[in-house]
Amino acid sequence: MSTDLTIPNKIDQFKVVLVNFEKQFIDITALIDSIEIHEGIFSPFASVDFVITDALGITERFPIIGDEHIIITYKTPGEKFKLRTRAFKLYKTGERVEAAQRQFNYVCFGIDEFGILQETKSVDKAFIGQNVIKAIDKIYYNVVTSGNDVQGTFQEFSQSLYGRDKKPIVESKNETSYVATGNTPMEAILHLKQEALHKDTRNNSDYVFFQNVDGYHITTLGELKEERDEQDSEENKKEFLFGDQTIPENNPDERFTAQNIILNARVKKTIDTIQNLDTGMFRNRVAVVDPLTKRYDHRTFLYFNEFGFLQKLNEGSGKRIHAKNSQFRFMESSTHTRYMVGELTTNRLNPSSPYKKFDGNLNYKDSPYISEVANIDKDPKIKYPNERHKRLNLRIAERASLDVMILELLIPGNSDIKAGDIIYVFAPQASPSAATSNLFNLFYGNVKSRFLVTAVDHKYERQTANFVTKLDCMKDAFEISPEAIRKIVKSEFTE
């Protein structure tokens, strides 16, 4: 084992401070019974909740009235881990329960201040002709930079808006005709991210807006799945091993320390055929009507035929989650259909190579019906058409595929793990056969098996001094095809 061991389940430099409306600071670290910090790629704001054991009457004497900031610092022991400082706005206290004479326990809830401040703002602005992702960038910073309040602490702790990881945002390939009329900033952001089309035609434009410990991010699931030098290199891989697993010879012991051991694991989902049918993963349909050109058409996605167009965590090795002779290969219809108004240049949403030729189609404003009748320069809907239906089939299927296999892992507290990370999970294969007992899980694969971290919960309990991190991790395809699995294990079962 490596000699650079950290102390599992311990926390370092932990401190919680409340700042009230008069900029008075009070250290409440000793009063914290337990605390949890939450973040996830499908939730726009990080949040915190903690239990206070209060025998000092802080609620009334400080007082706690919902104008407080919560400043938290913590890290995992060890030089390689960063000291984290996180700021939240306290917005709620829960029921007060008497724990002893003149002592009460209650839960305090906090959220990033942008989550509260954006509820006090409205967006009344036209974004016509602006790049869609740049418009989101402007909306975010307009809220953040207008955050001067009586405490003056919002500016100090406001965070940047990034693309993937801490990289600059990547502009979309399209412009918008969106006009916000009294929407909240998040309503405007959610509308625009549905409209955005990624510059890379291979990217299916499933945008997510979320916050983790680094800041806010506007990126796509496709970008989160891509290989990254900083996370996929051998020296920077975040690898985790089941606690009862014997490490195979091709994974030397020195790659793992006590910090890498999974304390508890729960397989939340492996397969759910009814859900896959309902969410449009196996088959979905997008139907579009254009009231200007009087055109209607629809496009059908079939998982068996178009699996190769989906972006996968293991792009070169991901396999379908059903067999080649599955009854779900060719379905006559789908229960998942999206009906929408859009801009159609032709009556063909189904060209011979549907996903490669979309960007080569005729520009909407050059459609003969429009160019001969309408004044293009004066109509923003014609000049900047919303064409998200071109990738919506793939977006639906790709989002559904990320919900195929889900692991919930409990690991020693790790302050560097964040929502949107890529991790490697070494899961053993349960088997009575000596031939397969030393293999990794056949669905997840070997050292090239990657999982996307979609949610992170950090939890610390003062009485036990126990710091743990819970991860929700998702995988979107099998590592080994069902047919290949059968060949591997054919000696174990009677045909």
| pLDDT number for residue 362 | 62
Q: What is the pTM of this model?
A: 0.89
CA-based R_g, the chain, Å: 26
For the residues of 327-388, what is the DSSP string, one character each?
TTSS-S--S-EEEEE---SSS-S--SSTTTSGGGSPPGGG-HHHHTTS-GGG-HHHHS---T
pLDDT, one tens digit per residue, over 79-125 is 889 999 999 999 999 998 987 777 899 999 999 999 998 999 999 99
Q: What is the CATH number of domain 116-222?
A: 3.55.50
Of the candidates 21, 55, 72, 3, the one whose C-alpha atom is nearest the C-alpha of residue 458 is 72
Query: Residue 344's pLDDT is what?
Result: 80
Structure tokens at 184: 């909240």
Question: What mean pLDDT, rounded, does the chain reach?
Answer: 85
* Model pLDDT, residue 250: 47
As a dihedral over the C-alpha atoms of residue 164, residue 166, residue 168, residue 171, rounded to 10 degrees, the angle is 10
Closest CA to 207 of 392, 331, 348, 374: 392
The pLDDT tens digits for 145-182 are 775 554 445 566 788 999 999 999 999 999 999 999 99
Distance of CA 411 to the CA centre of its chain: 19
Overall average pLDDT of the 322-338 stretch: 87
Q: 465 — alpha (psi -120 to 50), left (phi > 0) or beta?
A: left
The domains of the chain are located at 12-111+227-270+404-489, 116-222, 273-392
Reading the block at residue 324, the tokens are 């080649």
Q: Phi and psi at residue 442, in whole multiples of 5°?
A: -65, -30
Tokens coding 91: 């917005």
Task: Specify whether the CB–CB gap between 125 and 143 falls below 8 A.
Answer: no
Residue 256 above 70 pLDDT?
no
Measuring CA to CA, how many Å separate 74 from each of 297, 470, 485?
Answer: 55, 16, 44
Max Cα separation, the chain?
Answer: 83
Superfamily per CATH, domain 12-111+227-270+404-489: Baseplate protein-like domain - beta roll fold (2.30.300.10)
Reported confidence tier of residue 442, pLDDT bands at 50, 70, 90 = confident
Chain length of the chain: 495
